[in-house]
Structure 1
Amino acid sequence: MGRSVRRRLLLVVAAGFILATTGAAAPALAAVRPATVVGQAPKAPQPSAVVIKAEGMADITVTPKEKPQLFDDLLREVVFMSGTVSQIGVPKKETLGKKFTVVVQYDNKPRYSYDLYPQAQGGPKAFRPAAQPDKRVKTTASWFLGRMTMSEALRIAGAPIPEKPDVISGGIGGGERVIPDDALPTGRDLDTLLGELRQLVLLNGGVVLVLAFLVAGVALIIRHRTR
């Protein structure tokens, strides 16, 4: 093989490794690179407070600044109802127990409202009214199965709800609390996990394309040489 052909081969291999290394390092660089200010899209509005209302008790307000973990936990009790349809039929009123209304505020103005029934028979229930505080929100009245952490989330926030033994390890009698009094434990969101998986698939796809380009370049040089 001539010197010029070997030089071309080395250039193609070097280019392939540079591209592969750049692609693999891109996610890490993006994580530490400061955000671009010029032309950056405005951030979506974020909830500013969660207010819990119920008959016979004073309103409870939780903000992300004062109690960020508890704030996120309370949001998880209601956000799954956004944009979805009823999961269950209309329960009988006598089976629901005490109602707690959770109002999500944006810029200290109520936007979304949900009714939670942590002590309902058969497990927690949740209701999304069609009439929302923000008249621009268009939705339908729908019933849902509530999260099993509903009663503890409300109780930790200050709602008068009895402690549930089924969220204490070891059962009744000396069990140790799984959920601390100041916040509920939160796992990784499914959306975050899927996003990381998507990035991994894209990265692997990029490496495959680089290797394919590298092989095609070598084949082209060999074909050119053998003519």
Structure 2
Amino acid sequence: MVGRMRRLAGVLVGVLAAVLLPLGLPDPARAAPKPPPGVEITGVGLTEPLRLTADAHAAHVAAVIDQVNFLGRTGRAAGPKADDLGPKYTIVVFAGDKAKQTYDLYPRAAGGPRVFRPAKQPDARKTTAGWFLGRLSMSETLRNAGVPLEKQLDTVSGGVGGGERVIPEDSLNPAKGIDEALGELQRLLLLNVAVMLSITVGLAGIALLIRRRTR
């Protein structure tokens, strides 16, 4: 009897679910969507944390995460001197509403942008502290995301390591480099022709001398 009652209750629950769900009643699994991933930035010039979410700022979130997603397992134990680091910006990467990773970014460090990964991470995962060369685009990426940094027109975007790269004026004139290369090639060809002529004249002289002696 008990078994029959349980089976009947199960059938009733199934029937009610099939009837009520199409009527638009809230589904508990869909009622509370997960928060979107994002990043949070704090540092010099920011009076409060700058929070960016993937649903509203997808491009900026992806660009900021790209500044740290290439780091290897181990970095350098020691970084630049404190006076050479410049302004510090800490970013925290979120998966939904849970903080997963944190990094310290130094976009204006002497010798190029730097990234420091602390050993202690929000998600309690095991990692080693280390210093890394940052991407050349770090300063502009943070500025575009809302960090109050001055615009850098002479910074080469992309790549890893290096920092501010000022392009020499000479390199902005490709014709000059081509002319110099052609001039070097012309001088080399003339030198080769002179050597070949010298060898030819020398061989002709030796042949003439041999012919006179054999007569």
Which TM-score applies when normalising by structure 1?
0.51
Residues of 2 paired with 1:65 and 1:118: CA distance?
A: 26
Aligned-pair CA distance for 1:90: 2.0
Asked whether the equivalents of residues 37 and 95 of structure 2 are also in contact (C-alpha less than 8 Å), the reply is: yes
Structure 2 counterpart SS, 1:166: coil
Alpha-carbon RMSD: 2.7
Residues of 2 paired with 1:132 and 1:146: CA distance?
A: 19
1:51 counterpart = 2:40 = yes
> How has the CA–CA distance of structure 1 residues 87 and 152 changed in structure 2, closer, same or farther, with 3 Å as cutoff?
same
The counterpart of 1:159, out of the listed 134, 143, 147, is 147
Q: 1 or 2 for the larger relative contact order (CA 8 Å, sep ≥6)? A: 1
Asked whether the equivalents of residues 101 and 115 of structure 1 are also in contact (C-alpha less than 8 Å), the reply is: yes
1:142 counterpart = 2:130 = yes
Q: Could you tell me which residue of structure 2 aligns to residue 123 of structure 1?
A: 112
Aligned-pair CA distance for 1:167: 3.6
> How has the CA–CA distance of structure 1 residues 90 and 150 changed in structure 2, closer, same or farther, with 3 Å as cutoff?
same
The amino acid that maps onto 1:162 is E
The amino acid that maps onto 2:137 is T
Q: Could you tell me which residue of structure 1 aligns to residue 89 of structure 2?
A: 100
Residues of 1 paired with 2:156 and 2:67: CA distance?
A: 19
The amino acid that maps onto 2:93 is V
Please give the per-residue CA displacement for 1:149-186, whole angstroms capped at 9, x wherever unaligned.
10011001111111112148997xxxxxxxxxxxxxxx
Asked whether the equivalents of residues 136 and 156 of structure 2 are also in contact (C-alpha less than 8 Å), the reply is: no
- Where structure 2 has 5 or more consecutive residues not aligned to the other structure, the ranges are 1-33, 158-165, 168-215
Residues of 2 paired with 1:80 and 1:66: CA distance?
A: 24
- Where structure 1 has 5 or more consecutive residues not aligned to the other structure, the ranges are 1-44, 172-227
Structure 2 counterpart SS, 1:72: helix
Residues of 1 paired with 2:106 and 2:69: CA distance?
A: 15
1:79 counterpart = 2:79 = no
* Greater Rg by CA: 2
Q: Could you tell me which residue of structure 1 aligns to residue 51 of structure 2?
A: 61
Aligned-pair CA distance for 1:46: 11
Aligned-pair CA distance for 1:106: 1.1
Structure 2 counterpart SS, 1:73: helix
> How has the CA–CA distance of structure 1 residues 46 and 125 changed in structure 2, closer, same or farther, with 3 Å as cutoff?
farther
The counterpart of 2:100, out of the listed 87, 111, 121, is 111
Aligned-pair CA distance for 1:56: 4.2
Q: Could you tell me which residue of structure 1 aligns to residue 188 of structure 2?
A: none
Percent of residue pairs bearing the same amino acid type: 42
The amino acid that maps onto 1:119 is R
The amino acid that maps onto 1:70 is H
Moved over 4 A (4+): 168-171
Residues of 2 paired with 1:168 and 1:133: CA distance?
A: 32
Structure 2 counterpart SS, 1:110: strand
Asked whether the equivalents of residues 88 and 144 of structure 1 are also in contact (C-alpha less than 8 Å), the reply is: no
Q: How many residues align?
A: 126
The amino acid that maps onto 1:78 is V
1:91 counterpart = 2:74 = no
Residues of 1 paired with 2:43 and 2:62: CA distance?
A: 20
Asked whether the equivalents of residues 87 and 145 of structure 1 are also in contact (C-alpha less than 8 Å), the reply is: no
